[in-house]
Amino acid sequence: MDAVNDFLIFVDGYLGSAIWFPALLLSTGVFFTLYLKFPQIRYFRHAISITTGRFDKSDAAGDTTHFQALATALSGTVGTGNIGGVALALHLGGPAALFWMWVTAFFGMTSKFVEVTLSHKYREKTPDGSMAGGPMYYMEKGLNAKWLAVLFALATVLSSFGTGSLPQINSIAAGLKSTFDIEPIVTACFLSVLLALVIIGGIKRIAMFAAAVVPSMAIIYLIGAFAVILPNLENIIPSFASIFADAFSGSAATGGFLGATFAYAFDRGVNRGLYSNEAGQGSAPIAHAAAKTDEATDEGMVSILEPFIDTIVICTITGLVILSSGVWNEKFDNQFQRADMVFVAGAYDQSDRDDINSISAMLNGTATPAQEYSGKISLVEGAAQNKEDFTLINSRSFAENIRFSINDKPLSGEVFITDGRLDNPDIVVNGKSLIHSVPLTTVAFTRGFFGAFGQYIVAIGLMLFAFSTAIAWSYYGDRAMTYLFGPQSVTPYRVVYVVAFFYAALADTTIVWNLALITIVLMTAPNLIGILVMHKEMRKTVADYWSRKR
């Protein structure tokens, strides 16, 4: 698994973590924002009117209402990105990462408006009577680029696993294990069966499920969040100050946090922002294509609300919970995951500024004298005896109180390290370090009015958020399979989807997230290129729409 994780990190270095991707994502949003004269501001009120059904027509083609389409798309975006993704962004990039999530969302509102409008315009009815749409249809019929449509559809199938299935059940299983001590295998069995029962019903059952669950889960989550924010109000202004102060300089080391460069905070903020709201990824247009309307621009305007609700509202609230409670740079006792650990040669001191700078540079990928350790560690009752030979970094922080064990029994003897990694994958390492993703958000929710009961809100909210995301993404995948291989391919796809969902509950969290980063890029890049090429048609479509409305 170490080799798999290293390979994913290597590939991501040329994709999501390379500067070209966040630059393409943001520049596309900026271009359309200027080209269409800030539609995310000018059309916001009209979008709310459309969503509430003011302009509905009962005889319009489609399978769902505007609200159901919005709820389905939101159920695909409001998930682990809002609970674990924000925590991971803050863990990696510090408070500055949240600023770049906001920027991604603001310009993403326009990107989503464009991709949904164009995709809805070129949707078509399938042989079974349902509507099918998405970027692959505008790519084929609007761009006459069948090859690009096929590439996008294949990427959508991959991303349905990497974005929609694997991270969701993995986070659910981790949350239920830490909160209720439910074994991941039990979670996997129960939710896999439930997933199968829901997705068999197709878009109508999925839309009904989403319309019922999305508002409920949002209310539960917001109650828990404000139960933390209100007693920590004195920290809200300092939290906002750190977000803006560090936005263009990077976040300095503080507490257990080792600091992050501007480039690292920018990259992680943009990537996490995209993972959360999916603006530009091309997923939401597939859900919106099922909406009952003859006006493609109507549905595009409805989609403007998604990044606003998902990132600017929900992700911001999660970020304020984590920052105001102060848990983001605190160390906690936890079991270290292999992908989060690196053994560094030599003894480094977290109170020494030069040592902090060396380790921080290593973690941020810049030049540093710090090197990975290869050698042995002598253990007595789980405790290392040759501490002067190495320093263990876990979750981007100096690990403390380290204990080595196998099958819950402290180890004595020697263990071997190669290139900073444990040779024996069966060895379990526990200690004190920073934590990230869902566990970080869970701890933050215990720092409010509800105390320890706050963790249950996260666990329940996560289960509803993430499960609804997995359901929505199964629909995105089956529409892509329908485009590629016809309706007969949907059932085999769903079977594989459920099996992968089951397996991911038992997989390494860091590996799952790294896989998600790669599949997002494979899907997003073709879509961004496609909508940029069709910019003139987009402006004409909007102009025609308003000429009829007026």
pLDDT in the model for residue 527: 94
Element (H, E) at 65: none
Residue 387 near residue 347 (C-beta atoms within 8 A): yes
pLDDT in tens, the chain (550 residues): 667 767 777 887 777 677 888 888 889 999 999 999 999 999 999 989 888 877 666 666 656 777 777 776 676 666 667 787 788 888 888 898 889 889 888 999 999 999 999 998 998 887 777 778 889 999 999 999 999 999 999 999 988 888 778 878 887 887 788 788 888 899 989 989 988 888 876 666 676 776 777 777 778 888 999 999 999 999 999 999 988 988 888 787 888 888 877 777 777 777 666 666 778 888 888 888 888 888 889 889 989 998 898 888 888 999 999 999 999 999 999 999 888 999 999 999 998 989 998 998 888 777 788 999 999 999 999 999 999 999 999 999 999 999 999 988 999 999 999 999 999 989 999 999 999 888 899 999 999 999 999 988 888 888 888 888 888 888 889 889 989 998 889 899 999 999 988 988 877 666 777 777 788 888 899 999 999 999 999 999 999 999 887 7
- Looking at residue 277, what is its pLDDT? 76
HSE-up of 423 (CA within 13 Å, CB side)?
10
With 0-12 CB in 10 A as exposed, 13-18 as middle and 19+ as buried, what is 388?
exposed
Whose CA is closest to 339, among 185, 514, 178?
514
Reference 72, options 334, 345, 302; nearest CA is 302
Q: How far is CA 458 from the centre of its chain?
A: 16
Where exactly are the structural domains of the chain? 2-330+444-549, 333-433
DSSP code of residue 252: P
In degrees and rounded to multiples of 5, residue 144 shows phi and psi of: 55, 40
Sign for the pseudo-dihedral over CA of 83, 87, 88, 94:
positive
Break the chain down into helix, strand, coil percent, rounded to 5: 65, 10, 25
457 membership: H or E segment, kind and range: helix 454-485
Residue 86: per-residue pLDDT:
85
Which residues face 398 on adjacent strands?
393
Q: Helix axis angle, 184-199 relative to 202-229, nearest 10°? A: 130
Integer Cα distance of 165 and 152 in angstroms: 18
Q: How many CA atoms lie within 13 A of 457 on its CB side?
A: 26
pLDDT at residue 293, rounded to an integer: 83
pLDDT of residue 133: 85
Q: Which helix (H) or strand (E) holds 386?
A: none
Which DSSP category does 421 fall into? E
Angle formed by the axes of helices 437-444 and 316-325, nearest 10°: 70
- Residue 262 has a pLDDT of 76
Please choose, from the candidates 53, 461, 28, 37, the residue with its C-alpha nearest in 3D space to the C-alpha of residue 293: 53
Q: Give the largest Cα separation in the chain, rounded.
A: 80
How confident is the model at residue 533, as a pLDDT? Answer: 95
Burial (CB count within 10 angstroms: exposed 0-12, middle 13-18, buried 19+), residue 381: exposed
Q: Which helix (H) or strand (E) holds 217?
A: helix 202-229
Tokens standing for 525?
């890049």
Task: Quote the CA–CA distance of 472 and 488 in Å, as a whole number.
Answer: 20
Query: What is the predicted pLDDT for the residue at 266?
Result: 78
Put simply, whether the predicted model's pTM sits higher than 0.85 gets the answer: no
Please answer whether residues 204 and 471 qualify as being in contact, where contact means their C-beta atoms are separated by less than 8 angstroms: no
**Sheet holding 428-433: strands in order across?**
332-335, 428-433, 400-406, 409-410
- Is 408 buried (19+), middle (13-18) or exposed (0-12) by CB count in 10 A? exposed
| Helix 86-93 vs helix 437-444: crossing angle, to nearest 10 | 100
Q: How far is CA 165 from its chain centroid?
A: 12
**Domain at 2-330+444-549: CATH code:** 1.20.1740
Nearest residue to 439 via CA among 512, 334, 338: 334
Whole-number Å distance between alpha carbons of 111 and 410: 53
Three-class DSSP category at 431: strand
